[in-house]
Structure 1
Amino acid sequence: MTIYETLTRPEQSHAVQRFTDPATWATSGAQWNSAQQKTLQCCAVRQETHDVKTFIFRCADFSALSFEPGQFITVSPVIGGQTIARCYTLSSSPTRPFAFSITVKRVPGGTVSNWLHDQLKPGDSLRASGPAGSFTPVGHPAAKLLYLSAGSGVTPLMSMTRAACDMAGNLDIVFVHSARTPTDIIFHGELTRMQANMPGLRVINICEELGDMVNWQQPVGRLDLSLLNQQVPDFKMREVFTCGPRGYMDAVRSVLSEAAFDFDHYHQESFDIATLNDEPSIAQAASIASQPTFSVTLSRSGRTFSMPGNQTVLAAAKKAGAIVPSSCSQGVCGTCKTALLEGTVEMNHNGGIRQREIDKGLRLLCCSKPTSDLVIDL
């Protein structure tokens, strides 16, 4: 059993309603899962960099949150009278289950990230569901780890590192983080302090540019095989966890492939917030035109619309004007989980729904394509 697995052993998990027994905190937790929503109260807001803030929450009912390091929650603020869901990784450690955090980068034009930065303050409440996600070291026992991150992709790896530090885990962790400039490094000070107090932790920051920093002592440029060999010569012997923008993760895979790395020991965050493109391109339109069409009925409103067989039910429903809670659009978060009352779909999900939920008739609309006429519970 690894230190991470001690946090989630079912026989050690039990509800804690009051702050009475610190010895149980690391293994306690209310059974909050991706199918449930809770009200969270914001306890504090911390400025990490010029465009990144950490938001610290507690459950309004004072229950503990049981999660695996690397998992995310889905927050659902009401903005302009509309509930909008977005997924954010928990950056805090599951060893501290009564106060947990998300760390959010302001995205130009981003509806929820800008609302969080500009509007959410201590004392405010919002609804959230989760935790969920399979990007976690739980189930992958290894004593030597390599964490590779870029930008706000540092958050799940920070949760893993904080957990290892809190539990005094006997782990050899090399944490390589890439940022635009030294002032853009998220958690720079905390990681430096943890490195000083945790013998097995080594932190390497790589910056594309120096900005105003004139005495920078760490690498400048981008991660490549030469730099990886120089900084982490034993990287082939390590379990690798990678998170960052899609281009960064693709580049990491390319570097490791060049080195003939064994990808059985490679893990990357599959979750990538993407905006659904409701307006098909000319090529897509031609493809859609050649597809069989199916009728979809929304049981609550009685609305009916037609859709092609190669489009997701979520995209078609939104195009038809239906209000459908959704976030990741990749079958990860579970936000668009809806009962299929009649008909059949082809669903290819990424862990956002459990088999027992599928057996009860639930489907993730974001990754379901019709194979017959449908009636759904909307």
Structure 2
Amino acid sequence: MAMIPMPDKDTPVWTDAEMLECVNVLPEAPNVKTFTFRPPSGNRFVYKAGQFITLDLPVPGGNVQRTYTISSSPVTQAYLSVTVKAQEGSIGTRWMLGHLVPGMQIKAFGPAGLFHLPSNPDGKFLFISAGSGVTPMMSMAGTLFERGEEPDICFIQCANRPAELIFRKRLEYMACRTNGLQLHFVVNQSDPYEVWTGYRGYFNQLMLGLMCNDYLERDVYCCGPEGFMEGVREILNALGYDMDRYHQESFQAPAETKEELTEFDDVVPQEDTKAHIVFTGSNVSAWCSETDTVLAVAKEAGLNIPSGCTFGVCGTCKVKKVSGDVHMVHSGGISDEDVEDGFILACCSNPIGTVEVEV
């Protein structure tokens, strides 16, 4: 493989008219690898931290185009890296993991995307990711770190187990070189025969408060599976966060134009919207606001629902919802099976319209 010259400020900018050459492959985690590319001409890469590139992959049966977020930092313009994770049913990514090796050339398009740091990223940031959604966060954190200035980042990464925390060692190295990068890892379960002393379970609003108590002052960037990002938005909405400062990238359809940006239709309880709760076991009903909780309305009506934490953790206030809709943002105190069976936690459930509850 021929040596590719290093770019300088006078080096032309790479365009997608030129193929990219794979120069390095690095295993990161189970079914996860980082592929590094450079153009044979030695031209330099110019992009924004968080943007993506589209690769034209020569899989059996015909080429497919797959979009991958760039995981390297644009501060270094000599190369570009993507970190890919094979999902169930993956075709292009599986081909990359099994066949793409240094020396091979790939057609690419981009870079593109509106999910990226601002031109002058001098604020306070909260990065929240799950699974391979950490890739744009790595690019953003690397950019802020490599500028040589002290960043202000709270970095929250979630995964199924510790071995699946992509970039964990690299992030820990960065964090030990600056006081401005605070790391928090959340896993669902431990690895066999390994000690895990960090957070365990599903990311929730209680964890957010413990990890980053000044979250209201930060710009939030989020990436991960759609259900995960919906949960993060529910948490932030429930906590009164200014959602104009919230940014997210989708695994499925990263936006290239403003017209493609997702408009969220999240349910957000409104203080000036009335709701009605019927407590069927007590023959009592009460009007309230959507921002009132079922527990608070019950107590106001003189009814007793046993409760403990009032944060959606302990599960003491679990009651059966007979009909209607509630907006519930809990912190792990109720199982998915109970929710499917119609149960709610009264302390963190806001009534939407008319709701009947067995109390």
Does 2:135 correspond to 1:135?
no
Q: Structure 1 pair 213/154, CA: closer, same or farther in 2 (3 Å)?
A: farther
Query: In structure 2, the residue corresponding to 1:107 is in which secondary structure?
Result: coil
Does 2:6 correspond to 1:19?
yes
Q: Structure 1 pair 108/37, CA: closer, same or farther in 2 (3 Å)?
A: farther
Aligned equivalents of 2:59, 2:119: Cα separation in 1: 38
TM-score (norm 1): 0.65
CA contact (8 A) 1:74 1:333 kept: no
Deviates further, 131-140 or 215-224? 131-140
Shift of 1:348: 5.0
- Look up the equivalent residue of 1:128 and give its one-letter code: A
Shift of 1:97: 1.3
- Look up the equivalent residue of 1:114 and give its one-letter code: R
Shift of 1:83: 1.8
Q: Structure 1 pair 61/81, CA: closer, same or farther in 2 (3 Å)?
A: farther
CA contact (8 A) 2:31 2:86 kept: yes
Deviates further, 54-63 or 139-148? 139-148
Query: In structure 2, the residue corresponding to 1:211 is in which secondary structure?
Result: coil
Map 1:96-115 onto structure 2 (within 5 A): 96-115=76-95
CA deviation map 1:286-315 (0-9, x unaligned)? xxxxxxxxxxxxxxxxxxxxxxxxxxxxxx
The alignment covers a number of residue pairs equal to 259
- Look up the equivalent residue of 2:106 and give its one-letter code: L
% identity of equivalent residues: 32
Shift of 1:39: 0.4
Aligned equivalents of 2:72, 2:51: Cα separation in 1: 10
Aligned equivalents of 2:48, 2:259: Cα separation in 1: 24
In the other structure, the counterpart of 1:158 is 138
Aligned equivalents of 1:222, 1:207: Cα separation in 2: 7
Aligned equivalents of 2:155, 2:242: Cα separation in 1: 19
Q: Structure 1 pair 94/140, CA: closer, same or farther in 2 (3 Å)?
A: closer
Aligned equivalents of 2:124, 2:167: Cα separation in 1: 22
In the other structure, the counterpart of 2:169 is 189
Aligned equivalents of 1:66, 1:43: Cα separation in 2: 18
CA contact (8 A) 2:156 2:186 kept: yes
Shift of 1:222: 1.2
Shift of 1:350: 4.4
Aligned equivalents of 1:141, 1:94: Cα separation in 2: 13
Map 1:218-237 onto structure 2 (within 5 A): 218-237=198-217
Aligned equivalents of 1:70, 1:191: Cα separation in 2: 16
In the other structure, the counterpart of 2:251 is 272
Does 2:36 correspond to 1:49?
no
- Higher relative CO (Cα under 8 Å, sequence separation at least 6) belongs to 1
Does 2:129 correspond to 1:149?
yes
In the other structure, the counterpart of 2:184 is 204
Shift of 1:81: 4.7
In the other structure, the counterpart of 1:176 is 156
Alpha-carbon RMSD: 2.2
Shift of 1:59: 1.0
Map 1:282-293 onto structure 2 (within 5 A): none
TM-score (norm 2): 0.68
- Look up the equivalent residue of 1:30 and give its one-letter code: V
Aligned equivalents of 1:43, 1:181: Cα separation in 2: 30
Aligned equivalents of 2:52, 2:182: Cα separation in 1: 25
In the other structure, the counterpart of 1:82 is 62
Shift of 1:169: 2.8
Candidates 23, 47, 53, aligned match of 1:67 = 47
Segments of structure 2 that go 5 or more residues without pairing to the other structure are: 263-359
Shift of 1:187: 0.5
Query: In structure 2, the residue corresponding to 1:129 is in which secondary structure?
Result: strand
Candidates 206, 227, 236, aligned match of 1:256 = 236
Aligned equivalents of 2:141, 2:185: Cα separation in 1: 15
Higher relative helix content: 1
Shift of 1:157: 0.6
Shift of 1:94: 0.4
Q: Structure 1 pair 185/223, CA: closer, same or farther in 2 (3 Å)?
A: same
Aligned equivalents of 2:144, 2:121: Cα separation in 1: 13
- Name the larger-Rg structure: 2
CA contact (8 A) 1:92 1:158 kept: yes
Aligned equivalents of 1:104, 1:31: Cα separation in 2: 22
CA deviation map 1:197-236 (0-9, x unaligned)? 0220011100011122542121111111111111111111
Deviating 4+ runs (over 4 angstroms): 139-142
Map 1:31-50 onto structure 2 (within 5 A): 32=15, 36-50=16-30
Aligned equivalents of 1:178, 1:184: Cα separation in 2: 9
Aligned equivalents of 1:228, 1:114: Cα separation in 2: 34
